[in-house]
Chain A
Amino acid sequence: MSGAAPASLTRALPAPVRFVLGLGILTGFAALGTALVGALRLPLPGSVVGMGLLWAALSLGVVRLHWLEAAADGLLATLGLLFVPATAGVIEYLSAGAAWALWLLVMLAGLLLGAGVAGVLAARLVRK
């Protein structure tokens, strides 16, 4: 909860309406990020830029957490659903056959090296 004025108008909205408001704000930031990326010809996804902009807007108090947290929590709770349409496209790569073993090996190497470095370094830097 942010330090918004008590009993604010937005806080009194019914939950479904607040959900719609939140979804509108999140989609608005995605659109804003996409527009910015297009205008500046940045090689970045608009939604990641939108995420950065929302973080800044929350930190500056331009956007209040309670306006959108119900929608954000709802979307993040079912995040795994949203890329099933993409992962189902794996049927187009079944013919890669034995190459899958190499792909998994590369990922395993990346995971072990990355997590090993992150874990050991973070353990040294953490304040007790």
Chain B
Amino acid sequence: MTWVALTLLAFALGVLAQARVRHPLMNPTLVATVLVAGTLLLTRTSYDGYAAQVRPISFLLGPAVVALAVPLYRLRALLAREWRALVLGGAAGTLVGAGADILLPRLLALAPEAQRSLMTASVTSPVALQLAPVTGAPPALAATLAVLSGLLGALVLPPVLTRLGVRHPLARGIALGSVAHGIGTARAREEGDLTGAASSIGMGLAALLVTLLVAVLG
């Protein structure tokens, strides 16, 4: 029970830190992970023991992934009106991004667990975690790489998109959401409602598309 309390409090601390320092690296999940991982290392607690204790938190992932249908359903009017830009743009981006995440690790002959974990780096972490049994990735590595990929995307993509001349809010949103999932969507929301909405759609479609891609390859 101690570890459940510590995990909840570390996350709350992360949210408070984010409210004080507006920077993509001040991400509540990242802050909580550093605090919890640090405490595990300092107290020489085994990860397996920790994971068994905090199972009540992990359990809620299933219902939370199902809940992703709600923002997608709310945005159905936008999706119906701009489906060409959102669906075609998002699908192309997700496939190219996931394709690079699948092919490059093979070309570089990375360790097998890294190859399998990188396959799902471009989808939202809960989905990456639920896909781990399908890809054969270690769940912890798959979830961590997905979080880091989202953070990296939120940091580097907005200026790159501007350089590429991508100025339309819907196009910027779909680009962020289709490869940088939840963390990219949080960053997209800072640019405006329309960018955030397009990013949510991109994240939801990427979750479905990468799931199918992994199912076909697996």
Bound-state CA distance A108–B143 (Å) is 16
Chain B residue at minimum C-beta to C-beta distance from A79: B64
Residues of A within 8 A of B160 (CB): 112, 115-116
Instruction: Please provide the chain A residues from 75 to 115 with a CB less than 8 Å away from any CB of chain B in the complex.
Output: 75-76, 78-93, 96, 99, 102-104, 106-115
Bound-state CA distance A98–B153 (Å) is 21
Interface residues on A, range: 35 or more
Residues of A within 8 A of B70 (CB): 54, 58, 65, 68-69, 72-73, 76
Bound-state CA distance A75–B71 (Å) is 12
Are B175 and A115 in contact, with the CB atoms below 8 A?
yes
Are A91 and B37 in contact, with the CB atoms below 8 A?
yes
Are B50 and A88 in contact, with the CB atoms below 8 A?
yes
Bound-state CA distance A89–B123 (Å) is 19
Select the residue from A52, A75, A104 with max chain B CB neighbours within 10 A: A75
Residues of B within 8 A of A119 (CB): 89, 93, 161, 164, 166, 171-172, 174-175
Are A82 and B60 in contact, with the CB atoms below 8 A?
yes
Are A99 and B161 in contact, with the CB atoms below 8 A?
no
Residues of B within 8 A of A58 (CB): 69-70, 73
Interface residue A45 (Cβ < 8 Å from any Cβ of B) = yes
A56 shortest CB reach to chain B, Å: 9
Instruction: Report if A83-B129 is in contact (Cβ < 8 Å); known contacts: A109-B104, A118-B175.
Output: yes
Residues of A within 8 A of B182 (CB): 79-80
A-B contact pairs, 19 of them (CB 8 A): A23-B63, A42-B215, A51-B69, A55-B72, A76-B68, A80-B28, A83-B143, A86-B144, A89-B138, A89-B139, A93-B140, A106-B101, A110-B97, A110-B118, A114-B100, A116-B161, A117-B96, A117-B97, A118-B93
Apart from A71-B67, A115-B161, A120-B164, what are 17 other A-B pairs with CB-CB below 8 Å? Answer: A23-B63, A34-B62, A44-B134, A44-B215, A51-B68, A55-B73, A80-B27, A82-B126, A84-B54, A85-B54, A108-B152, A110-B179, A118-B174, A119-B174, A123-B167, A126-B171, A127-B84
